[in-house]
Amino acid sequence: MWKCNELLKGLEYECIKGSVDVEVSEVVNDSRKVTKGCLFLCIEGANFDAHTIAAEVVEAGAAVLVISKEVEIPEDTQVTLIRVADTRYAMAFIAAAYYGNPADSMKIIGVTGTKGKTTTSYLVKSILENAGHKVGLVGTIETIIGDKCIPASNTTPESLLLQQYFKEMKDAGCDTVVMEVSSQGLMLHRTQGFVFDYGIFTNMEPDHIGPNEHTSFEHYMACKGMLFKQCKVGIVNCDDKHWKTVLEGHTCELETYGFSEEADLRASDLKLVTGAGFLGIDFKVSGILNMDAKAQLPGKFSAYNALTAIAICRHFDVKEEDIQKALLEARAKGRIEMTKVSDDFTLMIDYAHNAMSLESLLTTLKEYNPNRLVCLFGCGGNRSKLRRYEMGEVSGKLADLTIITSDNPRFEEPQDIIDDIKTGIAKTTGSYVEISDRKEAIRYAITHGEKGDIIVLAGKGHEDYQEIKGVKYPMDERILIREILEENAKNS
């Protein structure tokens, strides 16, 4: 049991009914999980406001309600009402106290930015574990606690779940946590209730602007910037033209990295490297650390991700050889994930699922001067048609061959989506084939691969399902590739 007033430490609040000396059995923010004696947080979401069901929650046994507006409950109800300015903000502090403030016992690294968060987080985890640390990870793909991997619903979980993960990480012996911090997570106060030891800014491009997200690019930048009022040390990419705007009003110490001469930690002499079935980079690091770096990841953006990881891990006194070894081994599932199928050509899986990310990826890969750049992708059903036109146009313009296939058609007919993609390709002179069945499309890409080709399977990335007519069917591209190679070997 917890004393209510202990859970409210550090918060401004008003007890408008009952007593804060009451004991609380647990902390809940889901009305379906209300138990006798619990503290319930009335959260106002995009589609539902829990303040409207206060009477039902009390009837179900809640001992304390934390609210930010008037609620209707029977006058004779024995319940404590705590009024706060923002229940999401309050939830973060209550959650931290409820789980015993586990973040205080670990080093917490938060990575924010439009791109690079996922890959950078896995690089950091790899480097630090190579150096003997035990590292928990919270991100877009999954949460990793020891040997346990939990698929992610949000890049940054709600504060109550995040603090539960922190507690489990602490109990599992983790000394460090690296986590992706989304602008939504910051805006919705999911990362309040603790202080980040290191806050990292990778880059900034217009994204997540629209209903239930950000009202403008300026608002998006302001939300990203909240991290630098919640961390001790900020490590920022000073090559990004928006970095000073994002950092306005920061309260942390600052370090910079980038290719710029002004950066505290600099990358230079970037070289693109090709080998049997892989693409990579070499570069020099100078400034507050001097070393050579290599990674089996392609392009300049991969150099940025590697440099970001080096800038972070420098603070953990990691040896140069540990950094170098880890950079060569680290992988993020579904992020420029190279899958060896042949010495003649390179095949990779990537999550690029909009025009901006696809253009960035294909432009980078063209720098390796492939024999052909082959791009296989589809688009999700019941989503913007504009995305289909744009992705079709990008692939038609940059790829030598586009293989149009299916990707989560949902309640639409796959062929209708393919036809929309073809509308975009028709604006270019790009060649294409259409193969609706994704496995057969991948088989076509592999069996028609030529020496020196780079083949990209775009859009699915880490996803291991295909959503059709409301049902998610298992479908992992790695498994499909393995099956295709086995089937091809039998038939040869």
Where does 337-491 sit in CATH, by number?
3.90.190.20
pLDDT at site 214: 54
Residue 128 has pLDDT above 90, yes or no: yes
3-state secondary structure of 362: helix
Is 137 exposed, middle or buried (CB count within 10 Å of its CB: 0-12, 13-18, 19+)? buried
The band of 221, judged by pLDDT with boundaries at 50, 70 and 90, is confident
Please say whether the structural domain 2-98 has been given the CATH code 3.10.580.10. Answer: no
pLDDT at site 435: 98
Domain ranges of the chain: 2-98, 102-329, 337-491
Residue 207 has pLDDT above 70, yes or no: no
Give residue-wise pLDDT tens across range 160-189: 999 999 999 999 999 999 999 998 899 999
Mean pLDDT computed over 114-143: 94
Mean pLDDT computed over 423-438: 97
Q: How many CB atoms lie within 10 A of CB 70?
A: 9
The band of 150, judged by pLDDT with boundaries at 50, 70 and 90, is very high
202's CB contacts (< 8 A; 6+ apart) are 111, 112, 113, 114, 115, 116, 117, 120, 237, 240, 304, 305, 308
pLDDT at site 331: 83
Mean pLDDT computed over 340-346: 94
Q: What is the DSSP letter of 410?
A: B
Residue 278 has which token pair?
């892989």
DSSP H or E run through 292: strand 291-295
The band of 206, judged by pLDDT with boundaries at 50, 70 and 90, is low
Nearest to 175 by CA among 278, 122, 103: 103
Q: What is the DSSP letter of 391?
A: H
> How far is CA 261 from each of CA 145, 200, 253, rounded to the nearest angstrom?
39, 20, 20
Mean pLDDT computed over 431-448: 97
Nearest to 122 by CA among 131, 113, 108, 135: 135
Residue 31 has pLDDT above 60, yes or no: yes
pLDDT at site 46: 78
Give residue-wise pLDDT tens across range 347-382: 999 999 999 899 999 999 999 999 999 999 999 999
Angle between helices 300-313 and 117-130 (to 10 degrees): 50
Residue 213 has pLDDT above 70, yes or no: no
Could you tell me what percent of the chain has a pLDDT over 70?
Answer: 98
Alpha-carbon Rg for the chain in angstroms: 25
Mean pLDDT computed over 133-140: 97
Phi, psi of 191 (to 5 degrees): -105, 20
CA distance 171 to 421: 49
Residue 263 has pLDDT above 80, yes or no: yes
pLDDT at site 348: 97
CB distance 41 to 54 below 8 Å: no
Q: How many CB atoms lie within 10 A of CB 259?
A: 17
Residue 211 has pLDDT above 80, yes or no: no
3-state secondary structure of 303: helix
Question: 63-67, 297-301, 427-431 — which is least confidently predicted?
Answer: 297-301
CB distance 159 to 193 below 8 Å: yes
pLDDT at site 456: 98
Nearest to 308 by CA among 346, 261, 347, 256: 256
Please say whether the structural domain 102-329 has been given the CATH code 3.40.1190.10. Answer: yes
Residue 36 has which token pair?
């006798």
pLDDT at site 212: 58
Mean pLDDT computed over 210-232: 82
The band of 122, judged by pLDDT with boundaries at 50, 70 and 90, is very high
Residue 406 has which token pair?
């299916």
pLDDT at site 75: 83
pTM, full prediction: 0.91
Give the residues across from 258 on adjacent strands. Answer: 266
pLDDT at site 76: 85
396 vs 205, which has greater pLDDT? 396
Residue 407 has pLDDT above 70, yes or no: yes
CB distance 252 to 228 below 8 Å: yes
pLDDT at site 41: 98
Give residue-wise pLDDT tens across range 55-77: 999 999 999 999 999 999 988 88
- Mean model confidence pLDDT for the chain: 94
